[in-house]
């Protein structure tokens, strides 16, 4: 039960953070490209990589990894926005979103791991 509460608490912070960051980033770009979702997914991937490479407890992983990062990032919106770009005829943006989103997420997770390893020695 404690793990469930930690996940819920992390998600209660991550979901509003996703919404606020997404809206703030997207408001600064006059483009069809979903910069807000791209930003939260890359940031969440970096944070998750960092957290999982640290020597932390299961509770911290549940709170920050599963809860916070799970709610901060959004694969469903990524998929929906990519399909919406295709439906609107923005094929280049759709392809860029799919390829760059996955590549940047993996790269950010790798950087998070590398940073955690550098910090912990």
The string of pLDDT tens digits covering residues 79-98 is 999 999 999 999 999 999 99
* Cα gap 106→65, rounded to integer Å: 16
Q: Does the pLDDT of residue 109 top 90, yes or no? A: yes
Question: What's the total number of domains in the chain?
Answer: 1
* Res. 1 pLDDT band, cuts 50 70 90: confident
Q: From CA 9, how far away is CA 53, in angstroms rounded?
A: 22
Determine the structural domain holding residue 63 and report its residue range.
2-120
Q: Is 10 annotated as a binding residue?
A: no
pTM, to two decimals:
0.94
pLDDT above 90 for 77:
yes
To the question of whether residue 36 is assigned a binding role by annotation, the answer is no
Model confidence at 45: pLDDT above 90: yes
């Amino acid at each position: 039960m404690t793990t469930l509460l930690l996940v819920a608490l992390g998600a209660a912070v991550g979901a509003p953070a996703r919404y606020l960051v997404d809206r703030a980033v997207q408001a600064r770009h006059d483009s069809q490209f979903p910069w807000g979702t791209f930003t939260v997914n890359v940031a969440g991937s970096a944070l998750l990589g960092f957290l999982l490479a640290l020597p932390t407890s299961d509770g911290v992983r549940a709170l920050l990894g599963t809860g916070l990062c799970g709610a901060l990032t959004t694969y469903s919106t990524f998929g929906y926005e990519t399909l919406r770009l295709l439906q609107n005829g923005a094929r280049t943006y759709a392809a860029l979103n799919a390829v760059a989103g996955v590549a940047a997420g993996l790269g950010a997770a790798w950087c998070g791991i590398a940073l955690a390893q550098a910090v912990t020695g």
